[in-house]
Chain A
């Protein structure tokens, strides 16, 4: 019979230990896991990107259901162990579930510390530890207001940045004079404070919370100097305490944490402990890297190995995008220590090394953290830096061969240099994996070695290792580059724009190291779209990065004239509108008038100079631009529906008009066309549109991802909803999801195929909160999008006012009046 292994807690530490165990001996144990959290093992350190919206829960799952099944692990979700009976070798959960063990692992992690000030139990006072906390924060953020984050350490700042990105006003209260004082010296703390304030987050240092105010829920925070800060949410991020009660009750030796030996064994030889709940050699750890080292030792011990855990040195990185900060070791000042400091105020860089006897004791890097791994490695190795001392502060590139080539720095690292701190992966292991397993890109390396799979801050180093190992065969990320101006693909560019908070085309090109001075006709329109979509109301549209059609709000024709298509809401018109069109056609001698395939009227052959006047006349008759030229909402075709048709089940015309009025003006990755049919006979051809609605007796069947242009493809069904209001909400949410994720020029059917139809359904149909989020972001963006560009142009308030007239007209009689002196 196989031995029974029971695990209490399903966090990152035991998860890693089990992975290692199954690699070494897949059949050694029957494993049962009790987890108080009702979910699988996920990457806790990535909660901050989930809070900020940069990632979703699905993105941060470490072990999905399939992993537990294929490894025969019984995972008991939502079951908290309340008792360990060491005599009977049995654990019991709160609901009475029991499990017998041969070996037991305690991995209960930590509990967030809540300062017991008056009011700390009010609804709205949150900790920051697990997904439930994040969900509560996201929920609270929806109603806006001010969040007060108590604690200016790593967690507190990440929470503050996330809540800010969710649209809340945020104040950080920190009891010490500078932020993150445990990891940073005061200078770096000051730079950090400025950077945090630059993001619109208020920071109050030396703030001692006296009381949390409120009757039924949080209303404010009172400091001991009497100041009161209004708040709709309070997040306490003031520290953690190892979760040891269970072990204590079972009579195991416990100090601050559960005491273990070098083999991760507690005072009971059949019970091990791993993770944040552990105390080893007087130390308790709160970062993943040391826990993973423990996990490796534990896995080895479970198969009778003899590996020993000897404690860890840790380094910290703050995961607030746009703020680069690294610290490791001890940087207190003392008489026998020297320090080297580099400040570059212009570029916001601060570096400090603390040395003793020619060895690095501590490192603080702010603004430029590229050399963090290098210093950290020398610090851990206790390397003598005597020879490097003069140039040490300038980093590895300077000390190594060629300061210009970043790969040279990585090439110079020894094989046992740690690349990924979170997962303890060294350079040699990555290189071997790349050659042996024929890995091609960062994702492959992540899958096979876990390097850069956690916090991601070593992604750059992994890329350089790929470059180094594969040479020219390395194609970054294995995806097609956007264009010749960059090696990055569309997905990466989109992600980085949001992650780094890039808000202009020059900023993108600077930060993402564009290879050309101002891009090309492929990347500029794409970047302009991404910025418009990601920063509504903030980004100022760059006219010169739009194709001529979007720049002059009309479609260029083969002879250089333009076509003008006014909006005809839902394909419905009137005698007045038709008369106005007729008048315009006569007045400007427009050669061709044609009914389009999109249920409206096209005036073709308009001279560029006439456009503003044509628009002015159309505008007087109530027309707005039809965006026939736009990567944006085109038409919403409708059929006559229940108003007239004997088969019509719902008011398809009315819904089409409502949809068009709601969606018009929205910029999208590629054009978006809708149609609403009144019954399944589908006269509006809704089932080959980007988004379609087929009305039925019970409501509205929503379709998406159809195509009838270059490709022909019937739609997929999204879902059915009973009311018009829901149909509009779902469709707007879907449009927003596409706006946020689509690659420029990628129609909905291509995008949905790329990310998976079910992903779309999961987020729009099955996850009400996600849908709400998309819907609200869409509504917000529309506030800035629904301006008729024709009206603006006719009134000379939009664009380059003189766009439509020639710079000069020169008659036949040369030379003209203002001639210069002939240049010989």
Chain B
């Protein structure tokens, strides 16, 4: 099921930066690229759980602040040979407002 929920405005996030959305199922990192695309992924690095939203954003990827794992914002997959990935959350931007599809939260799928 899709459940789009408004979480804030595009302008609330710095260009090439990220903010967090806290949910009962864990924290989501919401990222803004140089060309104002918005992506949302699980805020837990597949390596050792580093907060990806604190990483450096480049292109459509983010580098984890703890040990430099690079995660794709579009696919959620780890770049390079190590493999692994995080859940991506569908995003819709309407009139500068960001909506996340919280129906996709990992917990709800499991529950």
- B65 & A819 in contact (Cβ 8 Å cutoff): no
Min CB distance A167 to B, Å, is 33
Interface core residue of A548, A556, A808, A823 (most chain B CB under 10 Å): A808
Q: Which residues of A contact B20 (CB under 8 A)?
A: 806-807
Min CB distance B44 to A, Å, is 9
- B54 & A556 in contact (Cβ 8 Å cutoff): yes
- B4 & A517 in contact (Cβ 8 Å cutoff): no
Known A808-B21, A810-B102, A820-B92; judge A802-B12 contact (CB<8 A).
yes
- B22 & A525 in contact (Cβ 8 Å cutoff): no
Q: Which residues of B contact A474 (CB under 8 A)?
A: none
Q: Which residues of A contact B70 (CB under 8 A)?
A: 520-521
Q: Does A818 contact B (CB under 8 A)?
A: yes
Pick from A518, A547, A807: contact of B65, CB under 8 Å: A547
Known A520-B58, A544-B14, A544-B56; judge A556-B66 contact (CB<8 A).
yes
CA distance A496 to B16 in the complex (A): 25
Q: Does B88 contact A (CB under 8 A)?
A: no
- A807 & B8 in contact (Cβ 8 Å cutoff): yes
Min CB distance A604 to B, Å, is 16
CA distance A543 to B102 in the complex (A): 30
Q: Which residues of B contact A808 (CB under 8 A)?
A: 7-8, 21-22
CA distance A548 to B54 in the complex (A): 6
Q: Which residues of B contact A811 (CB under 8 A)?
A: 24
- A543 & B58 in contact (Cβ 8 Å cutoff): no
Q: Does B87 contact A (CB under 8 A)?
A: no
Q: Which residues of A contact B13 (CB under 8 A)?
A: 807
- B68 & A521 in contact (Cβ 8 Å cutoff): yes
Interface core residue of B1, B27, B51, B55 (most chain A CB under 10 Å): B51
User: Which residues B38-87 have CB closer than 8 A to chain A?
Assistant: 48-51, 54-59, 61, 63, 65-66, 68, 70
Known A807-B30, A820-B99; judge A524-B56 contact (CB<8 A).
yes
Q: Does B110 contact A (CB under 8 A)?
A: no
User: Which residues A800-818 have CB closer than 8 A to chain B?
Assistant: 800, 802-803, 806-812, 814-816, 818
Total contacting residues, chain A, CB less than 8 A = 37
Pick from A525, A544, A549, A806: contact of B19, CB under 8 Å: A806
Q: Does A406 contact B (CB under 8 A)?
A: no
Q: Does A504 contact B (CB under 8 A)?
A: no
Closest residue of chain A to B60 (Cβ to Cβ) is: A517
CA distance A545 to B57 in the complex (A): 8
Total contacting residues, chain B, CB less than 8 A = 44
B-contact bits for A67-95, CB 8 A (1 contact / 0 none) = 00000000000000000000000000000
CA distance A820 to B93 in the complex (A): 11
Q: Which residues of A contact B65 (CB under 8 A)?
A: 547-549, 556
Pick from B4, B17, B54, B108: contact of A800, CB under 8 Å: B17
Q: Does A560 contact B (CB under 8 A)?
A: yes
- B5 & A547 in contact (Cβ 8 Å cutoff): no
Closest residue of chain A to B32 (Cβ to Cβ) is: A544
- A815 & B51 in contact (Cβ 8 Å cutoff): no
CA distance A448 to B12 in the complex (A): 58
- B23 & A810 in contact (Cβ 8 Å cutoff): yes
Closest residue of chain A to B48 (Cβ to Cβ) is: A558
- A812 & B14 in contact (Cβ 8 Å cutoff): no
CA distance A525 to B48 in the complex (A): 23
CA distance A811 to B5 in the complex (A): 12
Q: Which residues of A contact B34 (CB under 8 A)?
A: 517-518
**Chain A interface residues (CB < 8 Å from chain B):** 516-521, 524-525, 543-545, 547-549, 552, 556, 558, 560, 800, 802-803, 806-812, 814-816, 818-820, 822-824
Can you list 27 residue pairs at the A/B interface with Cβ under 8 Å?
A516-B58, A516-B59, A518-B16, A518-B34, A518-B59, A519-B58, A520-B58, A520-B70, A544-B57, A806-B20, A806-B22, A806-B27, A807-B19, A807-B21, A808-B8, A809-B22, A814-B102, A815-B102, A818-B5, A819-B3, A820-B5, A820-B94, A820-B99, A822-B3, A822-B4, A823-B2, A823-B92
Query: Sorted from nearest, which 3 A-B pairs have the closest CB atoms?
Result: A521-B63, A807-B19, A808-B7
